[in-house]
Amino acid sequence: MKLDAADQALLKKLYRNVSDTPLEPGHAFYEPVYGEDGPVEHMLKHVQWAELESVQYFSGFRGSGKTTELKRLADKLKAAGYFVVYADAEKYINLAGPIDITDLLPVLAGAFSDALEARFGQSVLQESYWTRFLNYLERTEVNLQEFGLKAGGAAAPAGLALDLKIALRGTPSFRRQVQQKLAVHIGNLKAAVDRFFEEGIQLIRQKLGEPDKKVVFFLDSLEQIRGSLFDETEVLASVATLLNNQGANLRIPYVHLIYTVPPWVKFLHPNLPVKFQIIPSVCQWENDAARTPVPEGNASLRRLLVRRFDVPGSAERVFGPATPGVDQLVKLCGGHFRDLLRLVSEILVRANQLPISDQVLSDAIASVRSQFLPLATDDALWLEEIARTRQASHASREEGAKLARFLDSHLVLFFRRGEEWYDIHPLIREQVALVAAQGRDSKRPTAA
C-alpha cells in the first residue's frame, strides 16, 4: 500500500530514533547488553577500590556505544560522591599527527583549569594553567613571538589562553618546537602539572566544603588519533610509546584518570602496564566452525532495535507480522549497534510502502554492504585467514596498521565470551570468500 501522510510521519520519527547518537543515562532507548558485568562496572570498582588515585584505559570500536557507556560511568561516579571532570582531547590536540607526553601533560592541566573555571567561575583561579604554561614556555626559550604569542602575568587576558590553545592544536611548527624544547624538561613539566592539580583539588574541596572530596578525570577522544596513509605507522608508534612507556607520567597524584584510547592498542600491544577495558562486539555466535548462534546476544540486539520503535505496533507496521526483517538485520550487524542502526536507517529511507517489500530489505542490506567494499585481493586473503583461524596475527608495523584499519572499519570483529577471538563481519563473508578464491586462481601457474 502506498505511503500516506501518517506513514511518512511514522517513518520520519523512526528515522530520527535510529540516529547514531550517544544516549544519556536512563534513556528509554538504552539496552543493557553487557548486563551487570560490563566495562562500566569493572571501571567503577577499580576507581572505588583503588582509593586515592588510579589510571585506566577505556576503548571501544566506532559504533560500539563507548560514549554512552562513558556517560553511564560518569553518572554512577557522581552518584557515589566523586567530583567528575570531563575533557574532550580533540579540543586541545591535533589528533591527526604523532603525540607524545609533552603534548598530553599540558592538555591535562589546561583542561582541568578550564573545567574549574566553568564550574566555579572565571575568577576562581589566581592564575589559569594556560597562563602558567605560557610563562613556562618562555622560560624554556620557546619562541612565542614567532607565532604571535606572548607570556602574561597572573591577570593575563583570556585571549592569551585561547591563542595558545589554537597554536597547540592548529600550528604544527609551534607544536614541534614545544615538543623539542620540553623533551629535556619532562620532569619539571610533570612536577608543575602535579602542583597545579594539587592546588585545584584543594580548591574543589574548599568550594564544596568537603575536605575528602575525590576527583575523577575523563580525557575523551584520544581513541580518534589517526594518521594519514603517509604517516600512519609513525602515529601508531607514537601512541604505543606514550601508553607503554609513560605510565608514571600519565598518573596524577590524588586523581582517578580514565583515558579513552584507540582500541587497536590492546591487540597490537597486549602487555600494557595499565588496566584496560574495551567494549567487544556483542557476541552473536560461538567460536566454532558452524558459528552456532548465541541466543542471549541476538536477543539483546533485537531488544535494542525494538526499543527504537517506540510507537506501539510500529515494528510490525514496518516489517510485517512477526517482524522477520528485524531478525535478518540483527543477524547481519556483526554485534555492532552502529551497523544495526545503519541498516534500519537505509530501510526507512527506501520504504515506498508498508510493510516494506523484500526488495527494499535486500537493497538496504546491499547499500550498507557496499560501504565495506571493494576488497583488495591481499586483504581478502588475510580476512579469509582470520575467519578460518579466529586469530589476527601481524608480522610488521605495516600489517599492524592494516589490522587497526580492519578493526576500526568493522571488517574484523573482536569478541569476548570467556575467551577472546576475532572473526570477519557477516555482511562481507561471501565477498571475502569470492575475492580470495579469485586471487588464488590468478596466482596458479597455467599449463604450458
Residue 448 placed within a domain = no
Determine the longest span between alpha carbons in the chain, in angstroms. Answer: 89
Same domain, 214 and 159: yes
Same domain, 61 and 204: yes
pLDDT digits (tens, 9 = 90+) for 257-312: 999 988 877 777 777 777 888 889 999 999 999 999 999 999 999 999 999 999 99
Q: Say what the pLDDT of residue 155 is.
A: 45
Which own/partner contact pairs does 159-164 have at CB distance under 8 Å and 24+ positions apart?
A: 160/130, 160/131, 160/134, 161/128, 161/130, 161/131, 161/134, 164/130, 164/133, 164/134
* Confidence tier at 113 by pLDDT (50, 70, 90): very high
Same domain, 294 and 270: no
User: What's the CA gap between 294 and 282, in Å, rounded?
Assistant: 10
* Confidence tier at 196 by pLDDT (50, 70, 90): very high
Residue 25 placed within a domain = no
pLDDT of residue 228 exceeding 70, the answer is no
Burial class of residue 424, CB neighbours in 10 A (0-12, 13-18, 19+): buried
Residue 406 placed within a domain = yes
Same domain, 382 and 409: yes
Same domain, 263 and 232: yes
Higher-scoring residue by pLDDT: 369, 275: 369
101 alpha-carbon distance from chain centroid: 20
Q: For residue 384, what are the domain limits? A: 377-443
* pLDDT average, residue stretch 330-348: 95
Same domain, 113 and 217: yes
Same domain, 274 and 345: no
Same domain, 133 and 262: yes
User: What's the CA gap between 346 and 349, in Å, rounded?
Assistant: 5
Same domain, 331 and 227: no
Residue 157 placed within a domain = yes
Same domain, 117 and 205: yes
Same domain, 301 and 434: no
Residue 31 placed within a domain = no
pTM value is 0.86
Residue 34 placed within a domain = no
The domain tally of the chain equals 3
Q: Which of 370, 396, 411 is the last residue of a domain?
A: 370
Q: Which of 308, 338, 370 is the last residue of a domain?
A: 370
73 Ramachandran zone, left/alpha/beta (phi>0; psi -120 to 50): alpha
Same domain, 131 and 257: yes
Written as nine digits, the cell of 154 is 597572573
